[in-house]
Structure 1
Amino acid sequence: MTERIRVAVVGAGGWGAQHARIFAGRPDTDLVGVVGRSVERTAARASQFETTPYTDVDRMLEEARPDLVSVCLPNEHHFDVTLHLVEAGVDLLVEKPLVFDLDEADRLLAAAAKSGAFFAINFNHRYAEPFVRAKAAIDAGQLGDLVFLTWRFGGEANVGASPHANLIETQCHGFDLLEHLGGPIDSVMAQMTNATYGAYSTVAIALTFASGAVGTILGSYDSSYSYPGSQLVEVNGTRGRAVIDDTVRRLTLSEVGNEVRTVWEAGYFNDEARSFHATFDRHVEQVLAAFRDGNPPPVPAAAGRRALQLAHAAIASFESGRRVATPVPE
């Protein structure tokens, strides 16, 4: 594929604007349509990016003829549209969470396997510069054998119908990143509280990894994104430690017995690396490279299913008061 890739965006909301921004602005893609539910809102979004508004997915497919569709819908409304598209054999990039129900996730993956569709999910935290550098350091053995990994991430509530919206919609990044850095999670034990507004807005989860390492996830909707240190990731090994502050802010690498640390922070003119939104641009770069070359996506939709499996295991652990095994699906 050497010509420009025709991309349509399904979703006219806030994060959908980031999808539209990227595909309208790249030199190798054409944004050929935006699909939304509201005529007025969709028209405004399409006008913003000089493309065509649609309120019907099938009409968009017929008229715009996209090569790739990027889906960004409200968190608990992903399944029906995604299934419709994947059963039609449409190549997709979808937002997290994949869905809230494991049976629905399995139906989506089975339909994509049957149709042969390219099916990627946006776990964009992986592409933040501190995570890229931390992953490289771990793979190079700078940290030695990993011993424990910690994810702490809290902000304001994104209230949904599910009592486990925080765990499934937001902390899916934590599950994905901890496995990305530390390998498969073997089991989980969870505590949760619904003391503030009825949903399980704060969760604390103990993890074991197949490698023998242990870990923790502390995720909250009872916090604030305005607080410094809203996100903290720590990876400790036998030879050193990596600490990531606020996804894109800072990476600190330390080695055992050495009081001198190595710190990465974006420089004065490096606005791209300090921008959270740019982590999505970085992911899209890899998605399009794989799509052009006919390769599997860099982060397949199956990663969304895996994060959901881990979330459901945490729910089962909390409800039973027991540790729950989380074997990696074959």
Structure 2
Amino acid sequence: MASSALNIERPGERGVVPLRIAVVGAGGWGAQHARVVTERLDTELVGIVGRDAGRTEARAASFGTRGYTSLDGMLEAEHPDLVTVCLPNEEHFAPTLALLRAGVPLLVEKPLVFDLGEADALLEAAGDTFFAINFNHRYAEPVLRARAAIEAGELGELVFATWRFGGEANRGPSPHANLIETQCHGFDMLEHLCGPIASVAAQMTSMTYGAFSTVAIALEFASGAVGTMLGSYDSSYAYPDAQLVELNGTAGRAVIRDTVGSLSLQSVGDETERVWRPGYFDDEARSFERTFDRHLDAVLTSLRAGSPPPVPASAGRRALKLAHAVIRSHETGARVPTRPAA
């Protein structure tokens, strides 16, 4: 197993002209976007765009940059090489569309949007513009190592996979906020590790506060494997294994705990587990926030090379399509096909 993927002591490419990056969003996760950009050697944070002038100015000042309440004003003044978008979950569409029409390379937070028509409009407006989405779970150390084990054949042919992710409610206007805003990571992760999902069948409950706060989904993969997803806003992130992935194959099993917590690998018939956990000094690998640092590192490498994004925005559209199939399955009581087009 390799060591951690990113050196956090001023990461970034040395000896290059820094890329000018602006952040749209002055909220909590927007602060992580600003932090990542300011900590790198090869990027310069040139502005933060927010809705509230006082809050935006305070956030910008804390990172030594300029605050704006106008997207157009920021673009005209700063001419950024990349814009990252971190806004409330159901307010992504209009600002993202405006930036794409301006031809600006983008990295946007998940979910892409809640409506498939809006997702299609964004992808159409993007054309060939660099357009990435932050499915940062892919960059957690246990996930990187699990994917390497799968590709090396250590698990054999995958037969079943499970995803569980539950915590306190992040309520929003949509009754399907949990499914679309949070479990999009599960859809992306399972397809990233196991291949395309071919069909879904769903159960949901709205027993706590009216929205569909907990969902249980049966999955069929195109490979012939099966799987399950359990996503909840009726649990707690304080519980151990709030997030868990199990991948079971003909030759072995991999279990990922709490995204960055640990990876265990075990072979069929062998009672001995091999376990990776971050070491005493490996704060970078044990930090969920640093998975975004790793993703941005890959994004900037692709952007400088003129290559497609490592996780394109179309992955956000795919996760949204799967979520809508789950909704349709729950409403109709039928299994819904989801195999992607060739």
**TM class, shorter-length:** over 0.9
Cα distance in 1, alignment partners of residues 239 and 152 from structure 2: 33
List per-residue Cα deviations over 1:109-149 (Å, max 9, x = no partner): 01111xx2100000000000000000000011100000001
What is the root-mean-square deviation in Å for CA atoms of aligned residues?
0.8
- The alignment status of 1:103 with 2:117, answered yes or no, reads yes
- The alignment status of 1:92 with 2:115, answered yes or no, reads no
> 1:316 aligns to what?
328
TM-superposed CA distance for 1:320, in Å, is: 0.2
> 1:14 aligns to what?
28
> 1:326 aligns to what?
338
Tell me which of 162, 187, 190 is aligned to 1:175.
Answer: 187
Cα distance in 2, alignment partners of residues 205 and 44 from structure 1: 43
> 1:265 aligns to what?
277
List per-residue Cα deviations over 1:29-83 (Å, max 9, x = no partner): 0000000001111011101100000000000000011010000000000000000
TM-score normalised by structure 1 residue count: 0.98
> 2:96 aligns to what?
82
Cα distance in 1, alignment partners of residues 241 and 269 from structure 2: 26
Cα distance, 1:109–1:270 mapped onto 2, change above 3 Å: same
Q: Is the 8 A contact 2:23 2:47 kept in 1?
A: yes
> 2:56 aligns to what?
42
> 1:144 aligns to what?
156
Cα distance in 1, alignment partners of residues 340 and 34 from structure 2: 34
AA paired with 1:52? R
SS at 2:90 equivalent: helix
Cα distance in 2, alignment partners of residues 205 and 305 from structure 1: 19
Cα distance in 2, alignment partners of residues 191 and 44 from structure 1: 45
Q: Is the 8 A contact 2:264 2:273 kept in 1?
A: yes
AA paired with 2:284? E
Cα distance in 2, alignment partners of residues 41 and 255 from structure 1: 53
Tell me which of 54, 68, 71 is aligned to 1:54.
Answer: 68
Q: Is the 8 A contact 2:133 2:316 kept in 1?
A: yes
Q: Is the 8 A contact 2:222 2:339 kept in 1?
A: no
- The alignment status of 1:304 with 2:319, answered yes or no, reads no
- The alignment status of 1:161 with 2:162, answered yes or no, reads no
List per-residue Cα deviations over 1:227-280 (Å, max 9, x = no partner): 111011000000000001100000000000000110000001001000000000
Q: Which ranges of structure 2 fall in alignment gaps of 5 or more residues?
A: 1-14
SS at 1:76 equivalent: coil
> 2:250 aligns to what?
238
- The alignment status of 1:214 with 2:237, answered yes or no, reads no
TM-score normalised by structure 2 residue count: 0.95
TM-superposed CA distance for 1:15, in Å, is: 0.2
Using the aligned pairs only, state the percent identity: 70
- The alignment status of 1:250 with 2:262, answered yes or no, reads yes
TM-superposed CA distance for 1:2, in Å, is: 4.0
Q: Which ranges of structure 1 fall in alignment gaps of 5 or more residues?
A: none
Tell me which of 245, 270, 276 is aligned to 2:288.
Answer: 276
Cα distance, 1:329–1:82 mapped onto 2, change above 3 Å: farther
Cα distance in 1, alignment partners of residues 293 and 134 from structure 2: 10
- The alignment status of 1:4 with 2:18, answered yes or no, reads yes
SS at 1:77 equivalent: coil
AA paired with 1:80? A
Cα distance in 2, alignment partners of residues 159 and 234 from structure 1: 28
